Amino acid sequence: MTKKNKSALTEKDGISQPETTNKSSAEKIKLNRRKQPSVKEFVEKILSGNITFLSRAITLVESTNQKHQKKANEILEACLPYANNSVRIGITGVPGVGKSTFIEAFGKYLTSLDKKVAVLAVDPSSSINKGSILGDKTRMEQLVTDKNAFIRPSPSGTSLGGVAQKTRESIILCEAAGYDSIIIETVGVGQSETAVHSMVDFFLLLKLAGAGDELQGIKRGIIEMADAIVINKADGDNTKNAKIAKIEFNRALHLYPPKENDWIPKVLVASALKNKGIDTVYNMINDYIIDTKKKSFFDKKRNKQNKFWLLETINQKLKDNFYNDPRIKELLNTEISQLENGKTTPFSSANRLLKESENKKKV
Ligand SMILES: Nc1nc2c(ncn2[C@@H]2O[C@H](COP(=O)(O)OP(=O)(O)O)[C@@H](O)[C@H]2O)c(=O)[nH]1
Ligand SMILES: [Mg+2]
């Protein structure tokens, strides 16, 4: 059994696969007979909260097949009017800090409040090491079996832009399926934190208490992005250190200029393992949402994010079209060897390539 197959997430994914579901046999037969349901059928099923169809639609979103993408786009457009009604929370932190454990505890807390929780991930490295950050050490065993939770590992892809776009689209599908709490886990590699920050309402940074000097080792820019820092593993011998760390982070955060919405990032302590402080984190996020909705900042931020993703998607598409063009691929190789032989400059090479791409479009 591969590492991936052992993960509880794969089991969860399994629940969503038609072959292994407990769906009624009539539904199974229907799914088998007509391999690809219509857009209308997809949308109806998603809106009724059908996990099998939600999973299949996400698979279409993640597919690189053009036919699948076209269908995915039609499903997305039809689902859009039913989306948006959720709180989107991003969670980041170094590996081992307890993200998965925290998401499990937090997710269970949310479902205990009758909320429906979808957990997605942005991990561009998952396609390289074949693992998922959601499926590593902690498998969220309780959350996977919760009927009000839907967990989906990171889409695979070569570029962060691609992975992030697929996750954003999956958010829309999950919301249309009635998930009112969307949690997006990311590991702090490269630009993935920035990507997740630009698709969530609230961005949470998990930290561990160290031996003093708490700001050491914290990535530049992450403080500006975080709406809250939660010092995890505040249990046992670590309880005191966590409290000290809280004071230090609070002091440090006050040195930063206030955010656009006047929100001063909060620092809390929690123990994901012992289920301590989870309710406090929930209340804080809730206060934030109420406050930013009152000030219309909530919608403003989402609009800004939509605009950002519009431009981002255009950039991505332009690049993909360019680099995937076989003519360009060939010419690029020629230009590179010309460049290596000192026969041309990067700028004239680039111009020739771009011109070639333009010419091709005209014919
Ligand atoms: N003592 C303690 N251990 C924790 C806590 N949260 C997570 N852990 C442990 O830390 C390890 C890494 O946790 P995991 O959730 O997989 O971290 P991730 O890599 O950030 O997702 C696991 O062995 C967890 O049991 C906590 O609050 N207290
Ligand atoms: Mg994890």
Is residue 95 in contact with ligand 1, taking CB distance under 6 Å? Answer: yes
Q: Which of 91, 97, 101 to mutate for ligand 1's pocket (most ligand atoms within 8 Å of CB)? A: 101
Is residue 230 in contact with ligand 1, taking CB distance under 6 Å? Answer: no
Is residue 99 in contact with ligand 1, taking CB distance under 6 Å? Answer: yes
Residue written as tokens 């697929």?
166
Question: Residue 89 forms beta bridges with which residues?
Answer: 183, 202
The per-residue pLDDT for 28 is 57
Torsion angle (degrees, nearest 10) of CA 262, 217, 152, 63: 100
Determine the atom of ligand 1 nearest the C-alpha atom of 206: 20
Band (pLDDT 50/70/90 cuts) for residue 21 is: very low
Is residue 131 in contact with ligand 1, taking CB distance under 6 Å? Answer: no
The per-residue pLDDT for 59 is 94
Is residue 98 in contact with ligand 1, taking CB distance under 6 Å? Answer: yes
Atom 1 (ligand 1) nearest CA: 233
Band (pLDDT 50/70/90 cuts) for residue 19 is: very low
How remote is the CA of residue 100 from the centroid of ligand 1, in Å? 7
Is residue 97 in contact with ligand 1, taking CB distance under 6 Å? Answer: yes
Determine the atom of ligand 1 nearest the C-alpha atom of 101: 15
Determine the atom of ligand 1 nearest the C-alpha atom of 136: 16
Q: Is the pLDDT of residue 34 over 70?
A: no
Determine the atom of ligand 1 nearest the C-alpha atom of 93: 20
pLDDT (tens digit, 9 = 90+) per residue, 182-234?
999 997 766 888 899 999 999 999 999 874 555 655 666 787 889 999 999 99
Is residue 101 in contact with ligand 1, taking CB distance under 6 Å? Answer: yes
Q: Is the pLDDT of residue 9 over 60?
A: no
Name every residue whose Cβ is closer than 8 Å to that of residue 283 and which is 6 or more positions away in sequence.
none
Is residue 93 in contact with ligand 1, taking CB distance under 6 Å? Answer: yes
Residue 306: other Cβ atoms inside 10 A: 13
pTM over 0.95: no
Is residue 235 in contact with ligand 1, taking CB distance under 6 Å? Answer: yes
Question: Residue 266 forms beta bridges with which residues?
Answer: 228
Is residue 138 in contact with ligand 1, taking CB distance under 6 Å? Answer: yes
Is residue 186 in contact with ligand 1, taking CB distance under 6 Å? Answer: no
How remote is the CA of residue 55 from the centroid of ligand 1, in Å? 28
How remote is the CA of residue 49 from the centroid of ligand 1, in Å? 31
Q: Which of 7, 91, 119, 138 to mutate for ligand 1's pocket (most ligand atoms within 8 Å of CB)? A: 138
Band (pLDDT 50/70/90 cuts) for residue 148 is: very high
Nearest ligand to the C-alpha of residue 99?
Answer: 1
The DSSP secondary structure of 279-309, one letter per residue, reads HHHHHHHHHHHHHHHHTTHHHHHHHHHHHHH
Residue written as tokens 């579901």?
21
Tokens standing for residue 71: 């269908």
Determine the atom of ligand 1 nearest the C-alpha atom of 94: 20
Burial class (CB in 10 A: 0-12, 13-18, 19+), 175: buried
Closest by CA position to 114, among listed 148, 75, 72, 63: 148
**Contact present, 121 and 62 (Cβ < 8 Å):** no
pLDDT (tens digit, 9 = 90+) per residue, 292-334?
999 999 999 999 999 998 998 888 889 888 998 999 999 999 9
**Contact present, 209 and 244 (Cβ < 8 Å):** yes
Nearest ligand to the C-alpha of residue 121?
Answer: 2
